[in-house]
Amino acid sequence: MDAPQKRLTITLETTINDDGQLERTKQSHQGDFFQKNNMDVLIFEETLEDGSTIKNLLTIHPHKVSINRSGAVKMNQKFQADQITENIYHHPHGKIHMETYTEVIVYKKASNGTEGTLTIHYTVKLNGQDKRKHTLKLAYQEEENQ
């Protein structure tokens, strides 16, 4: 049986290592969590500096993760350990071909779904350029006083 939807606080940290040059971002969002079949689903919106929004839908399966973004940018990025996946990143200035090699996915969660962490280590080539190392760290926790 599927678990009821929960309201969460989501923290998303990304690090890009471009030949020793580190670029880090950290964001916090309110979102929703629910379980469906054998996957966990996180949904949240982010607002860009220009006021436009991006809807994010993460589906977490036992051995793969998918991030579907829609709105100001569009992308459906898939992560599968020890696999190369490809997608097109659509943004207001054009399209970028992305080739992603996922090294490892680590997902830990409380049995009741109230909190969890997801870490993905991967490399990305944009339009065939040199690959850059990425780390995505996502943590979620159920909000109090629902």
* Angstrom distance (rounded) from CA 81 to CA 13: 20
* Angstrom distance (rounded) from CA 125 to CA 99: 5
Write down the pLDDT at residue 2.
60
| Cα 89 to Cα 63, 97, 106, 140, distances in angstroms | 23, 6, 24, 25
pTM of the model: 0.90
Write down the pLDDT at residue 123.
96
In sequence order, which residues have a C-beta less than 8 Å from that of residue 34 and are 6 or more positions away?
Answer: 2, 3, 4, 5, 6, 40, 41
**Does residue 19 come out as left (phi exceeding 0), alpha (psi in the -120 to 50 range) or beta?**
left
Here the tokens at position 122 are 């991967």
Write down the pLDDT at residue 143.
84
Write down the pLDDT at residue 1.
45
- The domains of the chain, with CATH numbers, are 6-142 (2.40.128.20)
The residue behind tokens 């990143």 is 89
Give the mean pLDDT per block of 10 residues along the chain (146 residues): 78 93 94 90 91 95 93 95 95 92 94 88 92 96 76
